[in-house]
Amino acid sequence: MAEQPLSELIWALARADWDEANALVAEIGRGGWVGGVQVIGAAYTLAVHRYFDPDATPNEVAAWVAAARDKYQGGGALPTLEMEGLIRAALGEPELIENIPVETLIAVEIFILGQLFIENPLTPSEIEEFVAEANEVAAEYM
């Protein structure tokens, strides 16, 4: 079932287990990301809504992206405009992601999701609830 490795990826990101997350990304990628866009997208959107104020300004989003990129070794290689656009899209400007390739979209969502979990750690029971909610939301789009 495609859902299991995707759920495991969300758990790994929530635990900041980067080795496990990288291994799962590779495994899921070999399978063609079946269901991945929906599940990761749902988890990403839920996390953005939990972290950012719904009225976050473009400047606030840009400041968060700059700080996240600065914390990450090699962060200069991350696509700034796409990162900002994906956050703003989750907050209500979906047109900002129309021209972002799926591979970039998934990679950026995974990175931002991991960063949001670092900044807002969840307990195991909260992770369980979060994964269940992400899978439920994703099921609506599969």
If you average pLDDT over residues 111-140, what whole number do you get? 91
If you average pLDDT over residues 104-120, what whole number do you get? 91
Residue 71 has pLDDT above 80, yes or no: yes
Written as six digits, the tokens of 8 are 């495991």
For residue 120, give the 3-state DSSP assignment.
Answer: coil
Q: What is the pLDDT of residue 79?
A: 87
If you average pLDDT over residues 61-83, what whole number do you get? 84
Written as six digits, the tokens of 18 are 């980067």
Q: What are phi and psi of 53, to 5 degrees?
A: -65, 140
If you average pLDDT over residues 81-99, what whole number do you get? 92
For residue 118, give the 3-state DSSP assignment.
Answer: helix
Q: How many domains does the chain have?
A: 1
Distance, CA of 28 to CA of 30 (rounded, Å): 5
- pLDDT interval class at 125 (50, 70, 90): very high
Entry pTM: 0.86
Q: What is the pLDDT of residue 142?
A: 67
Who's near 84: CB < 8 A, 6+ residues apart? 58, 61, 62, 65
Q: What is the pLDDT of residue 124?
A: 92
If you average pLDDT over residues 10-33, what whole number do you get? 88
User: Tens digits of per-residue pLDDT, 8-18?
Assistant: 999 999 998 98
Domain that holds residue 64: 3-139
Residue 65 has pLDDT above 60, yes or no: yes
What is the Cα Rg of the chain in Å?
A: 14
